[in-house]
Structure formats: structure tokens, C-alpha cells
Amino acid sequence: MHATTPSESESDTNRGTRRESWNADRTATDRALLDRDAQVYLKQSVSTPCLTSIAGAEGSYLIGTDGTRYLDFHGNSAHQIGYGHPRLVGAISSQLRTLPFVPRRFTSDISVRFAEALVEHAPTGLERVLLTTGGSDAIEVALKIARAATGRFKTLSFWESFHGAGFGAASVGGEQLFRGGPIGPLLTGTEHVPPIGCYRDAFGPGHRADEPHTEECGRRLAKLIDYTLRVQGDVAALIAEPMRAVPAMAAPGFWAAVRRSCDETGTLLIFDEIPTGLGRTGRFSASEHEGVVPDLLVFGKGLGGGMIPVAAVLARPELDVGADWAFGHYTHEKNPVISRAGLTTLEIIDDEGLVGRASSLGELALERIRAITESFESVGDVRGRGLMIGIELVLDGDARTPDPDLAESVLYHCLRRGLSFKTTMGSVLTLAPPLTISDAELDQALDVLEVSMRAAIDERNRR
Ligand SMILES: Cc1ncc(COP(=O)(O)O)c(C=O)c1O
């Protein structure tokens, strides 16, 4: 493949052949809005062309302009508490009436309470906070803190990872779509190693998530990381998603080994929990599954309840080294409406027991998906934690050749039956419902998935 041709990414790239027949079925009103969107917005991969226009969002559903209700298992991973949570709508409305804005240099009760609540929820020891209005910015703030604290500038991160679209975030990211073609040059000193994951272990035979983990899975990658950190001796930070949103999990013990390598080489460990945080994986932070505490951790996406954009960097107190410099200083840094949205979201997650719910519903969903897909030869792997689940489709079980065509077909079958999700890396059906989803809605979605997978496979077989 030519280096300027983007490879498969974490999202659907809108280049599939089935888009045309989907477009042809849109209503006139929908079509008109899609055309106006295409006329006025700059085009960019993944975001455009849009699938359809949306007129409402409530609970687990997106509601199309044409009235179609989609159970939303995509939500940009920002809908942990579902859409339009009434408690959050009420809290934001009342905040707008009392204290709508605070310029930088001032503080407020609500912004302090939000930061304190974040510290309470984060892994122990991460006691300092800086807020931004987006995940990409928060990643870059974390990188600047790591530079300031270590006096080093290099980073180590993972190919295929995504950390945001800013120049710094894209530099540590490993997705060609955000780094290649016309986008560079990027930051220097941003080195990469192959991605985590056992089904597609870059250094081993690989295995399905439901098979016993081999001794080798992850070990060679951990060794490569250890070697890379030691041979240079001047890497400021290793930055990674502890569990990838693709999804992919590291082998047991992998992160503990990486933590040791970081400690022994003076490298800071930054965990990007932008999609995995806030209970999505069945723990508040995905890093809790690994028993590893990073030096810096970033939350984002659903932190503003899917209504307000906000992200947060949390750091150990010793990393509070930037008093003389400006690492973020964003206009809406301590915006009280943002803080109210963040604090109320954390309260909703606690009060509704959403972390536990993600864990138990996730187990049930995984079990049911494994049962549904047992007989499908096209399913190479089913994996996930909590309500972040992936079904990887392959042409050939042994060779594990990705099957993006079948994945796309399943996606459109599901969309037509009112279930929305995204495919990642072309061939992984990636399911991330709201953590507030009801048992009945989850059942309904899995029914749709089963029927759609059968329909797509039958269609393939008839060809
Ligand atoms: C792992 C990860 N990091 C960073 C980001 C960037 O966040 P934002 O889109 O808010 O800039 C994302 C967004 O998808 C993400 O998934």
C-alpha cells in the first residue's frame, strides 16, 4: 500500500460500496439536509459523508429526521449516561441561570468540587487536575507535563493507537489516517511499537479471547518496550490506552511489566482513558483491571455527560511542575457549566451504579454474543470488557484475514433494523452502548445483531 493511502482506522471510513444504496433510501428531507451538510462543511475522512440526519437523542436512542429510532451502540463512546439524562439537563439549566461563566484567573465552588470529585474517582495518588475542552488537548497537556517533569522530550507509544487529532496527539497516535499524507511533519522523538492485543499479537501466533492466554502473548512486546526505553534512557513518557477501544486488551501482566520498565528508566506512564474511563469497562478506570496506576491519566468523551465537551488530565502531585508555564490555559478551562456537567455526570454514574451495571451487563452480553456467533465461521474473535465489546470478522479462521466487506454488510443490515455501531479497523463490529441501557434494549440489540449477521452471511453465501 502506498504510504499516502490511509489504512483502516478506528472508525468507519465511509468508503464502503454499500453507502450508495443506503443513500438512495433516504427520505427527501433527510437527503436535503445531507446535501446541505456536504455543501457547507469541509470534508474529512471518518466524519463525512454523513450517514443520515438526526433530530433527537434520548436514553439509548438516536432518532432520525425520518423518524427511525436507532439503538446507539456507537455514541462516540461519549454516552455513558445515555442521551439527555434529565438530571443532567436540570443541573446544566440551573447552572446557566446562576453562574454561566468564570474567566480564567478566577475560580468557583463548582469547578473546585468537580476537580475534587475527579480525584476521588481516579486511581489512588492522582491528585492534581487540569481541564481542557477536548481529549486531544488534554493528551497534549499530559505530554507537556511529562516533558517539564522529566526534562526529556521523547515518547513511546503504539502503532494503530488514537490519541486525538492535534499535532502532538497525532504524533503519539499511531493511526495513519491522522498522521500520514498531507498532515506531517509531526513532532520528533515520538517512537512507536506494535499494538497490544492477543488475537493479532504482532510477535506470536495469537489466540482468541476465549482461549487460554499463551505464555508468549504480550511478553515479547513488553520486552521490546523495556529494551527501547533502556537503550535510549531518555524517554519522557510512554503513552497508551490501557485497553484499546478497538477493542483490544493487553495480555495479563503486560502493563505491570511496562510499569516496571518505566520506573526503572525514569519514564512516566500516561494512560489515555478517554473512551475507556467512567465505568465503560466495568471499572471506573480501565487501568484498575491491570492493577497498575499511571503517573498521568486522561479522561474525556462522556465526562460532560455527552452534552458538554470536557476532558481532564490527572497527575501525581510531584508532577505539579508547571507553575511558571502555561500548559493549557484554555478559555473554558474552569467554565462552571462544564464543571456542573462533569460533577453531575460523576454523581449519576455513582448513584445509578453504572460501573457495576457495565460489568454485569457486559458479561451477559459477551456470553450471549459468544453463543450467537459460535456457529459462524466468519467470526474470528469475540472480546471485550464491560460494555466495550468487539466481534472480529475474518475470511479465514486460521489465517485471520480481516473481512471488512462482511463487517460493512452487517453494519448496514443492523442500521436498517435500527441498531447503530461502528466498525473498527475495517472488520471489527464494535459495540459500546450507554451504561444506562435497559436489559430489554440490550436484548433487542443483540436480536438485531443476530438476525443481521445471519442475513449478511446468507447474502455472502448466495453470491
Ligand atoms: C483514545 C482516545 N484518545 C483521545 C481521543 C481524542 O479525544 P477528542 O476527540 O475529544 O479530542 C479519542 C477520541 O476518540 C480517543 O478515543
What confidence tens digit (pLDDT) does each residue in 184-203 have? 999 999 999 999 999 998 99
In ligand 1, the atom with minimum distance to the C-alpha of 136 is: 11
How far apart (Å, rounded) are the C-alpha atoms in residues 72 and 388?
13
How far apart (Å, rounded) are the C-alpha atoms in residues 103 and 279?
31
How far apart (Å, rounded) are the C-alpha atoms in residues 146 and 187?
15
Instruction: State phi, psi for 330 to the nearest 5 degrees.
Output: -80, 145
CA geometry: angle 87, 88, 92, nearest 5 deg: 120
Query: From ligand 1's centre to the CA of 77, what distance in Å?
Result: 9
Per-residue model confidence (pLDDT) at position 9? 66
C-alpha distances (whole Å) from 312 to each of 43, 118, 142, 166, 388 are: 29, 8, 10, 16, 21
C-alpha distances (whole Å) from 273 to each of 70, 125, 211 are: 26, 16, 26
Query: From ligand 1's centre to the CA of 78, what distance in Å?
Result: 10
Confirm or reject: Cβ of 241 under 6 Å from ligand 1.
yes
> Which residue numbers in the chain have pLDDT < 70?
1-15, 215
- Peptide bond connecting 294 to the previous residue in cis, omega within 30 degrees of 0: no
C-alpha distances (whole Å) from 74 to each of 25, 69, 187, 422, 432 are: 22, 14, 31, 6, 6
Element (H, E) at 218: none
* Minimum CA distance residue for ligand 1 atom 4: 163
3-class secondary structure, 287? helix
* Minimum CA distance residue for ligand 1 atom 16: 275
Beta 422-424 vs 128-132: how paired, if at all?
A: unpaired
**426: closest CA among 213, 177, 180, 235?**
177
Contact by Cβ (8 Å): 263, 370:
no
Query: From ligand 1's centre to the CA of 421, what distance in Å?
Result: 17
How far apart (Å, rounded) are the C-alpha atoms in residues 256 and 263?
11
**CA dihedral (406, 409, 413, 414) positive or negative:** positive
How far apart (Å, rounded) are the C-alpha atoms in residues 157 and 172?
6
Confirm or reject: Cβ of 200 under 6 Å from ligand 1.
no
* Minimum CA distance residue for ligand 1 atom 13: 164
Query: Grid coordinates in use for 83?
Result: 442521551
Confirm or reject: Cβ of 162 under 6 Å from ligand 1.
yes
Confirm or reject: Cβ of 275 under 6 Å from ligand 1.
yes
Confirm or reject: Cβ of 245 under 6 Å from ligand 1.
yes
Task: Spell out the residues 6+ positions from residue 417 whose beta carbon is closer than 8 angstroms to its own.
Answer: 448, 451, 452
Query: From ligand 1's centre to the CA of 298, what distance in Å?
Result: 10
- Fill in the DSSP letter of residue 130: E
Q: Residue 324: how many CA atoms within 13 Å on its side-chain side?
A: 2
CATH numbers and ranges of domains, the chain = 17-81+356-461 (3.90.1150.10), 86-351 (3.40.640.10)
- Fill in the DSSP letter of residue 163: -
**415: closest CA among 35, 73, 32?**
73
Confirm or reject: Cβ of 274 under 6 Å from ligand 1.
yes
Query: From ligand 1's centre to the CA of 162, what distance in Å?
Result: 7
Confirm or reject: Cβ of 132 under 6 Å from ligand 1.
no
Buried b (16+ CB within 10 A) or exposed e, 296-312: bbbbbbbbbbbbbbbbb
Residue of 136, 178, 297, 424 to test ligand 1 pocket, by largest number of atoms within 8 Å of CB: 136
The end-to-end CA distance of the chain, in Å, is 28
Grid cell 502473548 in the structure block, residue? 217
* Minimum CA distance residue for ligand 1 atom 2: 163
Residue of 274, 285, 422 to test ligand 1 pocket, by largest number of atoms within 8 Å of CB: 274
Confirm or reject: Cβ of 173 under 6 Å from ligand 1.
no
Query: From ligand 1's centre to the CA of 29, what distance in Å?
Result: 32
Query: From ligand 1's centre to the CA of 273, what distance in Å?
Result: 9
Q: 188 burial class (0-12, 13-18, 19+ CB within 10 angstroms)?
A: exposed
Grid cell 483491571 in the structure block, residue? 289
